[in-house]
Amino acid sequence: MLGNLTGFGTGLLDDFQRLEQQLDQLFGSADWPLGIRSSQRAGFPPVNVGSSSESVDVYLFAAGLDPKSLDLSLQENLLTIAGERQQALDDEAQVYRQERFTGGFRRTIALPEDVDPDQVTAQYRDGILHVRIGRNETSRPRRIEVH
């Protein structure tokens, strides 16, 4: 139908789709902003990191994951989170657009030097993984009284 409207056969549209797929394979999926208000993609899952004098909080936005399939490790000051999101589509389905990430992922986050590997908790709730890493007691600010 579209071929009749444009005056071209559908072969031209197939060529453009094939070219797009080849460019994605060559350069990877778009690592540049998709629009004027878009931000650069950093990877999956998106991460927020915040800190206080007592802890460092890492939030991973990863809906649809099985929390038991996540692999978390903390070595020195590097937090590594790995896992896999399964595809929920039928193998016979033809995908026209896929914006939801599927497959394996691995994120490594550099943390401050004063994190305490013995004070780590992780909770997965409502599609958000919250990892809290405590800071060493000696590195926390303390109030000094002047006499």
Residues 25 and 76 in one domain: no
Residues 21 and 75 in one domain: no
> Is 96 inside a domain boundary?
no
Euclidean distance between the first and the last CA atom of the chain, given in angstroms as a whole number: 87
Instruction: Write down the pLDDT at residue 27.
Output: 65
d(CA 53, CA 78): 19
> Is 70 inside a domain boundary?
yes
Instruction: Write down the pLDDT at residue 48.
Output: 93
Residues 133 and 64 in one domain: yes
What's the pLDDT band for 59 if we cut at 50, 70, 90?
very high
The yes-or-no verdict on residue 50 having pLDDT over 90 is yes
Find the CATH number of the domain harbouring 76: 2.60.40.790
Instruction: Write down the pLDDT at residue 42.
Output: 56
* Short-list 100, 57, 58, 101, CA closest to 83: 101
Q: For the whole model, what pTM was predicted?
A: 0.63
> Is 81 inside a domain boundary?
yes
> Is 48 inside a domain boundary?
yes
The yes-or-no verdict on residue 130 having pLDDT over 70 is yes
* Short-list 99, 105, 42, CA closest to 69: 105
- Higher pLDDT: 7 or 136? It is 136
The yes-or-no verdict on residue 68 having pLDDT over 70 is yes
> Is 28 inside a domain boundary?
yes
Residues 74 and 119 in one domain: yes
> Is 16 inside a domain boundary?
yes
Domain that residue 3 falls in? 1-32
Instruction: Write down the pLDDT at residue 36.
Output: 39
Kindly report the average pLDDT of the chain as a whole number. 79
The total domain count for the chain is 2
Instruction: Write down the pLDDT at residue 62.
Output: 84
